[in-house]
Structure 1
Amino acid sequence: MSDYYTIAVDVMGGDFGPRITIPATLDALARHSRLSAKLIGHSDVIQPFLNGLNPDVACRVDVVHAPDTISMSAKPSQTLRNGQESSMYKAIQLVEDGAAQACVSAGNTGALMVLGRYILRMLPGVDRPAIISSVPTAKGHCYLLDLGANVDCSAEHLLQFAIMGSVMTAAVDGIQGPRVGLLNIGQEQVKGNEQVKLASRLIQEQGGLNYVGYIEGDDLYAGNADVVVCDGFVGNIALKSSEGLARLINQKVQASFKQGLYRKFLALLAKPVLSDLKKQMDPSRRNGASLLGLQGIVIKSHGSANQQCFGYALDQAVAEIEQDIPRKICSEIEARLT
């Protein structure tokens, strides 16, 4: 892997578009001296953000004109038929052409998945892509996949997810033999549907995987696994439920401390602790979900991400480029499943 790398940024995607994505990208260029960026979107919209740039940053920015934008409500089938001139399509195409090593977008998740699979294609031995992201635990964080790319998965798909998640975690976090768990309704071997039971047997048969068995929902945040595998239906509900609960707790705590002068005084004393806890629990700090299994790196940012959080997605792309994640996954899948 070269010491220099390029990220294609779909600057038009997300709820806020260029006013978030472009400043975040320019900040990332300042942080990563070997990074260059291709900003894909309408050139008339992009150019004002580039006026007066530091020359060291300006020389690492290219603008790629894309007249169209894929809306957040667009159906994936529409993007294949009519999306060739969109910023998302062109960003992924740059990865396929070798002009960029990764694509980052805050746009329509379904469209990003469909276009990524159509343009980049799947790695040999991988049937479906999986969305993976980190979630906080008592010991730091773990990675959860799939988070919604595949509603229905076979046991073989879950095995592939386990291998891909293990490879990415080992490379990005530097963990030797990441602990892999399978999300289930109980820890006993008799629990779960046939798909999960068969997946457990298949993962166990992969001697090189550090399989720790079933992980229950209430144990997801205990930190007893580095990678937790499930189908996209279960994963998406688990993630969204957790984010909703975190917001509810935050709202309840804030409301409680506003009730009376004494509680306001306690809130003032507890502010440093509460601020630190909020940072640890804030899902946006882990913004940047990877679409594993493609022949290229595609990172999905949350659509409502602010500038700092979109920057986290860019940092995730840099980490995966530096570790050459697709190549490592391809090698591991080939060694284990072919």
Structure 2
Amino acid sequence: MKVAFAGTPEFAAEALRAILSAGYAVPLVLTQPDRPAGRGMQLQPSAVKRVALEHGLPVDQPEKLRTPEQQAALAACAPDVLVVAAYGLLLPQAVLELPRLGCINIHASLLPRWRGAAPIQRAIEAGDAESGITIMQMDIGVDTGAMLLKEALPILPDDNGGSLHDKLATLGARMIIDALDKLRNGALPATAQPDAGVTYAAKISKAESALDFRLTAPRLANKLRAFDPFPGCSGSISGTVLKLWAGEAVDLHDEPGTVLRADGSGVVVACGSGALRLTQLQKPGGKRLPAADFLRGFPLAAGTRFELPSA
């Protein structure tokens, strides 16, 4: 069975490695064009492209897949199935119909909850008790296709966006091999997604990084976890933007944004309900540090106020 692959970041690269290790023939890898990154803003290949080149696989990097010319490489390799994981491009109907067995997607949520671009972060941000992987048959909608395999994974209290990403990437890589093996043997039944329980995981915007201390402390603690390591959260004091990386809700109360305490155990900031003890912070141009080390280079006094974002 010829398995073409479409994906871009490390989440997808983990699946591609598993497919290659399982011995499947991969006639083509689709990934997004190289993007500028790093201090020098040099063009950098995606994680998927690096894996493909290490294994000598043909790579195609179209900006879109809308035209016959952009679809030509995929059509020419005549795959039996196209596996898609965090590719970042919409697949038109013509592409969905190219492989003999269609296109199957590795989605990092328990569908129909958290369809869309940022399911890992949104699950943590919402305080979900579990996440998981759904292998689905792709259709023209956004993560609306029939479910082929589904497996849950608990979200632990100390999980953040990075740790949950890595766990789900490993789970997705295992599950896609199971799905391909079943597909090859003609034993991969599809189940339509239910209408109930649909939620959407919108792409994370930079504006969301700023913490609004008028929200509840548990909600902000979840957001800190969800946005670590990307894009991170922030707060401003007298025009200085600090990166805020980790914290926990505590039962203290005052005007939202007020620093109640700042010592080695953390920087305690009042919220709309309760308070947030910030335990890892970063000043401009500095490193991410535990609160005690941060305060040695950026002292904060009780009564200091974090600025509140515009409503």
Q: Which has the higher helix share?
A: 1
TM-score class, shorter-chain normalisation, is 0.3 to 0.5
More strand by share: 2
| Structure with bigger RCO (C-alpha 8 Å, 6+ apart) | 1
